[in-house]
Amino acid sequence: MKVFETVKDIDILPNQTVLMAKADGEAELLVYNRQGFSDMVEKAYVINKWGRKRTDFPALNEFTEAMKQNPTVESCELMCEAYAMEGDTALMLPQFIHYIKSQDPTLIAKVHLGVWNVLKINGHVVAENYLWRCEQVASWLPNGKLAHILPYLQPKSMMEVQHFWDYYVVNKRYEGLVVWEGREPFKCKPFKELDAVILGVNKKSGYGRGNLFAQKQVTSLKVGLMRPDGKFVEIGDCASGIDHQLRSKLWQVKEKLAIAEDDNVVWIKPRIVIQIGYIDLFKGRNKVYAYEERLNGSAYREVETMPLIRMKSPQLLHFRPDKTVNPQDLRIQQIPEAYLTEESP
């Protein structure tokens, strides 16, 4: 799916552009049949891309009850996002996974099914435009509390686009927007930024990419911040992007600065500062390293762990030749105060 860099890049095509709030959850195929199924007693189920089928939880049961009141729809296939909410605030994927696997009814009751597309109605493939699909589902689920169409809008002005973004993404903490232009969907996500140092190059290329490391391309970096005491705090892995020339350049950097290697990482001298864009942060426990220059070779030495953060969807934006490796340029205080604990130095 293509990506708009910022909300200001969204084009408004008259009577075509539709905005939808994007929840951070698990994509599901939702199947409903008023007559039921031969292999199960329920009249609806959801199934994810790994083949995990779920039935009999509050959001799905609410959907089934609503569809019983609609005599015109005997069956349908929908795409939806299973996600969690706390009040009217959207939560992140890890919370959804925790809630849906929980045996606690109060947690499972916070799982929502947000419909975002209609594939079939009464056995027929839907050919109507995207707004029509949204309006159909909205009419089926007019009072949906747990099962509903995801928030959507056909904007007439950039002011409406900005207001929609501010309300759902900034205030309600949705992951971003999906922008439909005709039948073509685009993503638009909020990026926050920080400066970090490259600590190492990851050998694994990621799902579905093949072994790009063996082709001398770097797809992922291990990055960190710097404490006032000069020690490095690892904050996770950062994607290098899809630029083949950049991936090859990072390989050359790795060759020049490598100091050690294990099964997963080629560790390099902490010399290069980069700017990272990320969608959100969540609290984690982070490894702390002392970097030591030695006559017989440099090395990182793990000295402790500390509570700090992990980044969601981090990616390399650009190099920062104007920055150097020091506690000020790489300061932990780049992280919003809400994520810093009393234990953080």
Q: For position 320, which CATH number holds? A: 2.40.50.140
Q: How confident is the model at residue 1 (pLDDT cuts 50, 70, 90)?
A: low
Q: Is the pLDDT of residue 287 over 90?
A: yes
Residue 82 lies in a domain: yes
Q: How far is CA 168 from CA 52, 189, 226, 295, in A?
A: 29, 12, 34, 55
The Cα angle at residue 304 between residues 303 and 306, in degrees rounded to 5: 145
Which CATH number covers residue 76? 3.30.470.30
Same domain, 247 and 154: no
* 3-state secondary structure (DSSP) of residue 113: strand
- The DSSP secondary structure of 268-312, one letter per residue, reads E-S--EEEEEESEEEEEEEEEEEEE--TT--EEEEEEEEEEEEEE
Angle, alpha carbons 197-203-204 (nearest 5°): 115
Where is average pLDDT lowest: 201-210, 240-249, 283-292? 201-210
Query: End-to-end CA distance of the chain, in Å?
Result: 40
User: Among residues 131, 158, 188, which one ends one of the domains?
Assistant: 188
Q: Is 296 in the same domain as 161?
A: no
Sequence-distant (≥ 6) Cβ neighbours of residue 228 within 8 angstroms: 327, 345
Give 342's DSSP letter: T
pLDDT digits (tens, 9 = 90+) for 125-140: 999 999 999 999 999 9
Domain membership flag for residue 120: yes
More confident residue, 190 or 135: 135
- Same domain, residue pair 151 and 210: no
Percentage, residues of the chain above pLDDT 90? 70
Domain endpoint, select from 188, 208, 230: 188
Instruction: Write out the residue range of the structural domain in which residue 327 sits.
Output: 192-339
Q: Are 175 and 94 in contact (CB under 8 A)?
A: no
> Is residue 340 within 8 Å of residue 331, measured between CB atoms?
no
> Stretch 115-126: mean pLDDT, rounded?
98
On whether residue 345 sits in a domain, the answer given is: no
Give pLDDT, residue 344. Answer: 42
**Between residues 254 and 340, the one the model is more confident about:** 254
Report how far residue 221's alpha carbon sits from residue 240's, in angstroms, rounded to the nearest whole number: 7
Number of independent structural domains in the chain: 2
pLDDT of residue 342: 47
Global confidence as pTM: 0.65
Q: Per residue in 296-317, pLDDT tens? A: 789 999 999 999 999 988 989 8
Same domain, 180 and 196: no
186 vs 22: CA distance, rounded Å: 11
How would you classify residue 143: left for phi > 0, otherwise alpha for psi between -120 and 50, otherwise beta? alpha
Judgement on whether residues 277 and 314 belong to the same structural domain of the protein: yes
User: pLDDT tens across 63-106, in order?
Assistant: 999 999 999 999 999 999 999 999 999 998 888 998 999 989 99
